[in-house]
Amino acid sequence: MPEAVNLGSGRGAGWLNDTNTEIKNLFNNTVTVGSFAMFDADTNAAYTVPVGRKLTILTVTVVSQGASGAFYIQSYSGGVFVGTKLRMYAFEDNKGQQTPIETGMEFSAGQQVYSQHVSSTYLNCFGVESTV
């Protein structure tokens, strides 16, 4: 049984760590310019929100690897992008620095989390998967 602690963020969001919640760590496995599915660190496979669940991303950590440029976090379902959840800009001056962004992005069952890069950027998303 999971440890009885409250999972959440400094923004007031919280979940009881029980059999209905799971911590998720997603990452993009390439800095190539383009659009790619985010991977689940536990399975090393493209992450899709399971049926009857939702994902709430609490923190996105950005590491710029090159020139300045925009990056996006988007939801993808059924072969199409269904929404842009985050659009930010990575700066060349911050190359190699980890920049955390607190958020509260929700993804529904069946959606994939995608990252789109106009510059070379590593992204890591920390969140909670829970029942709807």
CATH number, domain of 30, equals 2.60.120
Q: How far apart are CA 91 and CA 78, in angstroms?
A: 33
Q: How many domains does the structure of the chain reveal?
A: 1
Q: 40-64: per-residue pLDDT in tens?
A: 999 999 999 999 999 999 988 887 7
DSSP per-residue string spanning 32-60: SSEEEEPEETTTTEE-BPPTTEEEEEEEE
pLDDT above 60 (res 2): no
Identify the domain containing residue 43 by its residue range.
26-131
Q: Please report which confidence band the pLDDT of residue 4 belongs to, taking 50, 70 and 90 as the band edges.
A: very low
Q: How far apart are CA 119 and CA 7, in angstroms?
A: 32
Q: Is residue 37 part of a domain?
A: yes
